[in-house]
Amino acid sequence: MNKHSSVPYVLLIDIEDKLAEIIYEYDAIELTQALAKSVNKEADAKDPFISSTRDVLRENIDCLSDDEKFEFIAQVQKLSYVKHNSELMDAINKLAK
């Protein structure tokens, strides 16, 4: 994690942890790879059999700039299974503030 990041690390970790509880490794890879690709970056974690969901999220989100991290969270917030998870939505809303 970038030490000079404007993204509150504790809130980002909380979101990653909560998201990891409701999605599989493959889904985490798909989500993070898609965003990284859209901003011409390469997300490192690609093998769902090597990493846990939490590790995939941390490693792949870490390659993003602060603005891209906020964009990732904004995109995740739109997913139906995220919208129905009140704890995750609360964490996302805290980060958005």
DSSP string, 56-70: HHHHHHHTS-HHHHH
Establish if 78 belongs to a structural domain: yes
Q: Structurally, how many domains does the chain consist of?
A: 1
Per-residue pLDDT tens for 23-52? 988 899 999 999 889 889 988 888 777 778
Establish if 22 belongs to a structural domain: yes
Angstrom distance (rounded) from CA 85 to CA 68: 23
> Which residue segment(s) compose the domain that 77 sits in?
16-96
pLDDT mean over 7-23 = 91
Q: Are 28 and 43 in contact (CB under 8 A)?
A: no
Establish if 5 belongs to a structural domain: no
Q: Are 39 and 68 in contact (CB under 8 A)?
A: yes
Pick the closest to residue 43 from 17, 61, 66, 16 (CA basis): 61
Establish if 37 belongs to a structural domain: yes
Angstrom distance (rounded) from CA 48 to CA 96: 29
pLDDT mean over 18-22 = 94
CB atoms within 10 A of CB 72: 23
Establish if 48 belongs to a structural domain: yes
Establish if 1 belongs to a structural domain: no
Residue 1's pLDDT is: 47
Per-residue pLDDT tens for 44-95? 888 777 778 999 999 999 989 999 999 889 889 999 999 999 999 999 998 8
Establish if 3 belongs to a structural domain: no
Q: The pTM is what?
A: 0.82
